[in-house]
Structure 1
Amino acid sequence: MDESAAPLLSPSSSTIARARWGVGLIFFVNGAAFASWVSRIPALRAGLGLSEGALGSVLFAMSCGVLLSFPLAGKGAQLLGARQLALLAGVALLLMLPMPFLIGILPSLVLVMLEVGAALGTMQVAMNVLAVDVQARVPRPIMSSLHGAWSAGGLVGAGAGSLAAHAGLRPLLHLAGAAVVLAGALLLAWMLLLRARLPARSATMPMRPSMSFRQQGRRVDRVLLGLGVICFCAFLSEGALADWSAVWLHDKASASESRAALGYAIFAGAMTTMRMVGDRVLEVFGTVRVLRLLTALGALALGGALLLARVDTAMIAFVLLGLGMATVVPTAFAAAGRRADAAAGGTAGEASAARAVALLSGFGYSGLLLGPPVIGWLAQATTLTWALGLLVLLVAAIVALVPLLGEPARADGKGAVARPSAT
C-alpha cells in the first residue's frame, strides 16, 4: 500500500495515538541503545589500551557502517516495509550491543563496529520513514516530539550507563541487560504499530536529493545550502559530544567513569526538555531571537568549559548547549520545506518538501559520520581539548546562519501561509 493512498485519520483517533507511541518507542530504543554504547566508550578504550587515534578509527568504522546502510535500508523499506525493517534492524542492533566488549583485538573490533553501525543506520532510516507515514496522517507537527523521544532515550541510556559505571558493573553485563530491557520496549512498539494498522509497505523519502532546486533559482539554492550547513554543523557537534564528552571529562577534567558518562546524559536531558516545549517557545519569543541567544550561549559556555577543564563548568556548558541545539535541526527541516514549497510555486506539495528534507538529511548525516573520527584524529595530532574546540567554531557558524531558520513562509494566492506537510 502506498503512503499517498493511505487515508488521513482523525486527530482524535486511537489509531493515531497507537502509531505515535509505537514510532516514538522505536526512536526511544534507538537513542537509548546508542547512548548506552557511548557511555561505556571510556571503559572500552581503557580495556584495550587504545590511543585517541585508534579510538577515532574504531568510531569511523561505525560511521562507515551507518553510511553503507542508507541505500540498502531504503531498498529494504520498500521491499519489507518500514515496520518490519525497523524491527529486524532493532533486534540486530540489540544483539550486537554487548559484542564490542567480547573482542580483544583491534581488527575484529573494527569489523564488529562496522556491523553495529549498519544496524543503527538501518533502524534510523526505517523509523524516519515510519515517522513520515504517521506525520502524513496528523494535521499538526509531531516530528519534534519524535526527535524528543530519541533524546529521551539518549538521556535514559547515558544515565543508566553512568549508574552502571558507578556501581562497578562490567560493561558486558550492563549492555547485555540494556539490550534485554530495550528488546521489551521494541516488542511493545511492534504491537502498537500492528494495532495502529499502518501500511505494511511505506513510500520512502528519496535518499538522493533532486537537482531541480538548482533550476528553481540561485537564491533558493543558497538558502538550502545554508540550511544544509546548519544541519552539518549541528549533527557533527552532537555526534562528537556523544562519543567524546565522556572521554574528555575522564581524561582532561579528572572525572570518574560514572561522572564522565553523566555528561552526555545531561546534554541529552537538556535537548529532550527543550524539544518537548520548543515549538511553543519559538512561537512566543521568535525563532531567530531564541536560537541566536541559546546557540551563542552554548558556544561561549563550551569554550569556557574546555579552557577551565572543570567538571562543574562542563556540565553547565552541556546544559546550555543542549538547550541551544535541541530545536536547530527540526527548525531547519521546516524552513527547508517552506523554501522548497515557495520555489515550486505551491505545486510540488509533499514531494518538494520531502526532497528538501532529504537534502538536509544528507548534509546532517555526513556531519554525524565525520564528527567522531575527525575529533579523534585531531586529538591525536594536537590534544583532545583543542580538537573539541572545533565544536565551538561549528556552533558559532550556526549562530551566524540562524536568520535562515526564520525565513518566512510563502503566502499563497489566498493569503494563507504555506507550510511543509511532512516536517
Structure 2
Amino acid sequence: MSPRLAAFVAFLLNGAVFGTWAARVPALAEQIGAEVGSLGLALLGASAGLAFTAPLAARYCAVHGSRGALIASSLLSPLLLPVLALSQSTVQFGLTLVALGASIAVMDVSMNIAAVVVVRALQRPLMPQFHAGFSVGGLIGSLGSAAAAQAHWTPMRHFLVAAFVGVLVTALIAKYIPGGVGERHREEVTERANVLKSPVLWLLACVALCSAIAEGAAADWSALFMVRERGMGDAAGAYAYAVFSVTMALARWFGEPIQRRLGPHRLLAAGGALAATGLALAVAVPFPVAGYAGFGLAGLGLAFSFPVVMDLASETGKRADGSGGERELGLVTTIAYTGFLAGPPIVGGLAHVSSLVLSLGFVALVTALIIPATWLARRAARPAASV
C-alpha cells in the first residue's frame, strides 16, 4: 500500500465515522427525547471538543509528525460510536460528543498534514482527491445508516458494527501512513513566527468557516429536515446526506483538472455561489425532490472549499526544504471545523425560535459570504507574493 492510498483511506474512515452518527441523529434524538433546541445544544459538545483539541494536535504534529496521532485517533473515533449510543439524555449525549469531537480534531489535523506530505512529494494538486475520500466515507456511513434504520437496528447495534470495521481498517493502513519529521525540523518549529499575524491565513480561514458551517448543517440536519419539513421517513431522510456526499465526492475526485483550469480562487468563489443557490432551493421549494436537488448542488459547490483552502494555507507556511505548514493547517482546521460542528447547533437554535426552513435559509446566506472572503484573500495574497 502506498502512502497516498493510506492517507486517502484515513480520509475515508473519518468521513465514514461522521456520516454514521450524523445520519442517525433522528434516531438518537428520539432515544434521548430531544427537541431541536436541546439537540442543537448537545451537538455543540462536539464543536467544543474540536476547538480545544485542534491547535494542540497541530502543535504535536509540527514537532512529532502526524503518523502516530493519526493512528491513535483513527482507532479512538470509531470506538466512541457505541459510547454515543449509550446516551440516555441530552447531557450524556453532549458530553460524549465532546470526546468524539476531540478525537475527530486530532484525526482531521493529522490526516491533512499527512496529505500535504504526499502532495508535496508528488507535486500535484491532489488535496481535493483526498477530501473526496472524506465524502465517499460520508456516503458509506450515511448509506449504512439508512440501511440500519430500514432494518430497524438500534443505534447501539449499528455503531458496534461500525466500530469493528473502523478498527480493522486502521490496523490495515497503520504501517503505511506518512508524516514523520526529522530533528532539524523539530528545532525549526520552535522558532516559527506567530501564524495569527497573517491576514491571508485569516481570510482563508473565513472561507473555510463559512463552508464548514454549511457542510456541518447539511450533514447533521438534512435528514431531520427531510423527515420533519418534507414528510419523508427516516430511511428516505438519510438519503439527503447521501446525495450531498455523492455530488461532493464526484466533484472532488475529478477536481484536479478543474482546479488547474480555473485556479484556486475562482474555484472557491464559483463553488460558494453554487452551494448557496442549492441550499436556497432546498428550503424555498416545498417539495422533496427540490430538497434532494438542493442538497446535491450544495455538495457540489462546497466540494472544493475545504481542500483548496487547506492547500493554500499550507503554502503560506512552506519552507525552502519543502517542510512546514503544520501550524497554518492547524489554525485553519480549528476555525473551519469549529464551524463544521457549530453549524448544527446554530441551525438548532434558530429552528427552535423559528423553523428548520428559516434556519437553513440563514445558512445559505452564510455560504454566500465565501465569495467576498475569497476575493479579499486573493487581493491580500498578491502583495505577499510580490515581497
1:247-262 to structure 2, matched below 5 A, reads 247-262=224-239
User: Using the alignment, how far apart are the partners of 2:107 and 2:182 within structure 1?
Assistant: 15
- Residues 83, 232 of structure 1: CA spacing in aligned structure 2 closer, same or farther, 3 A cutoff? same
Secondary structure at the aligned position of 1:275 is classed as helix
Aligned length: 383
Instruction: Tell me if structure 2 keeps the 8 A contact 1:60–1:373.
Output: yes
Identity of aligned residues (%): 29
1:375 aligned partner, one-letter code: V
- Residues 105, 59 of structure 1: CA spacing in aligned structure 2 closer, same or farther, 3 A cutoff? same
Residue 122 (structure 2) pairs with residue 176 (structure 1)? no
Residue 176 (structure 2) pairs with residue 199 (structure 1)? no
**How much has 1:97 moved relative to structure 2?**
0.6
Instruction: Tell me if structure 1 keeps the 8 A contact 2:351–2:359.
Output: yes
1:155-234 to structure 2, matched below 5 A, reads 155-193=139-177, 199=180, 210-211=193-194, 214=197, 221=199, 223-234=200-211
Residue 8 (structure 2) pairs with residue 19 (structure 1)? no
User: Using the alignment, how far apart are the partners of 2:5 and 2:99 within structure 1?
Assistant: 28
User: Using the alignment, how far apart are the partners of 2:326 and 2:84 within structure 1?
Assistant: 36
In the other structure, the counterpart of 1:309 is 286
1:78-100 Cα shifts (integer Å, max 9, x gaps): 78753222222222222211222
TM-score by length of 2: 0.86
User: Using the alignment, how far apart are the partners of 1:403 and 1:293 within structure 2?
Assistant: 11
1:40 aligned partner, one-letter code: R
User: Using the alignment, how far apart are the partners of 2:305 and 2:253 within structure 1?
Assistant: 13
Match of 1:325 among 282, 286, 302: 302
Instruction: Calculate the aligned-residue CA RMSD, in Å.
Output: 3.3
In the other structure, the counterpart of 1:148 is 132
**How much has 1:297 moved relative to structure 2?**
3.5
- Residues 397, 233 of structure 1: CA spacing in aligned structure 2 closer, same or farther, 3 A cutoff? same
In the other structure, the counterpart of 2:351 is 379
1:359-402 Cα shifts (integer Å, max 9, x gaps): 43343133223212111111112212111111110122123444
Query: Greater Rg, structure 1 or structure 2?
Result: 1
Secondary structure at the aligned position of 1:98 is classed as helix
User: Using the alignment, how far apart are the partners of 1:151 and 1:388 within structure 2?
Assistant: 21
Secondary structure at the aligned position of 1:374 is classed as helix
- Residues 183, 352 of structure 1: CA spacing in aligned structure 2 closer, same or farther, 3 A cutoff? closer
In the other structure, the counterpart of 2:340 is 368
**How much has 1:312 moved relative to structure 2?**
0.9
Match of 1:269 among 246, 256, 260: 246
User: Using the alignment, how far apart are the partners of 1:113 and 1:97 within structure 2?
Assistant: 9
- Residues 206, 238 of structure 1: CA spacing in aligned structure 2 closer, same or farther, 3 A cutoff? farther
Secondary structure at the aligned position of 1:36 is classed as helix
User: Using the alignment, how far apart are the partners of 1:347 and 1:102 within structure 2?
Assistant: 47
More displaced 10-residue stretch of structure 1: 131-140 or 275-284: 131-140
In the other structure, the counterpart of 2:109 is 125
- Residues 411, 122 of structure 1: CA spacing in aligned structure 2 closer, same or farther, 3 A cutoff? closer
TM-score by length of 1: 0.80
- Residues 124, 206 of structure 1: CA spacing in aligned structure 2 closer, same or farther, 3 A cutoff? farther
In the other structure, the counterpart of 1:398 is 370
Secondary structure at the aligned position of 2:17 is classed as helix
- Residues 162, 69 of structure 1: CA spacing in aligned structure 2 closer, same or farther, 3 A cutoff? same
Structure 2 segments unaligned to the other structure (5+ residues): none
More displaced 10-residue stretch of structure 1: 198-207 or 25-34: 198-207
More displaced 10-residue stretch of structure 1: 22-31 or 102-111: 102-111
User: Using the alignment, how far apart are the partners of 1:144 and 1:59 within structure 2?
Assistant: 27
Instruction: Tell me if structure 2 keeps the 8 A contact 1:227–1:360.
Output: yes
The 4+ residue runs of structure 1 with deviation greater than 6 A are 200-207, 346-349, 405-412
- Residues 93, 337 of structure 1: CA spacing in aligned structure 2 closer, same or farther, 3 A cutoff? closer
Instruction: With a CA cutoff of 8 Å and minimum separation of 6, indicate the structure with the bigger relative contact order.
Output: 2
**How much has 1:102 moved relative to structure 2?**
1.7
Secondary structure at the aligned position of 2:245 is classed as helix
**How much has 1:50 moved relative to structure 2?**
0.3
In the other structure, the counterpart of 2:22 is 38
1:239-262 Cα shifts (integer Å, max 9, x gaps): 111111111111111111011111
User: Using the alignment, how far apart are the partners of 2:93 and 2:202 within structure 1?
Assistant: 37
1:294-339 Cα shifts (integer Å, max 9, x gaps): 533332232132122322111111111111111122333444566x
More displaced 10-residue stretch of structure 1: 319-328 or 122-131: 122-131
1:378 aligned partner, one-letter code: L
Structure 1 segments unaligned to the other structure (5+ residues): 1-16, 215-219, 419-423
**How much has 1:71 moved relative to structure 2?**
4.1
In the other structure, the counterpart of 1:3 is none
Instruction: Tell me if structure 1 keeps the 8 A contact 2:271–2:303.
Output: no
User: Using the alignment, how far apart are the partners of 1:351 and 1:183 within structure 2?
Assistant: 30
User: Using the alignment, how far apart are the partners of 2:347 and 2:189 within structure 1?
Assistant: 30
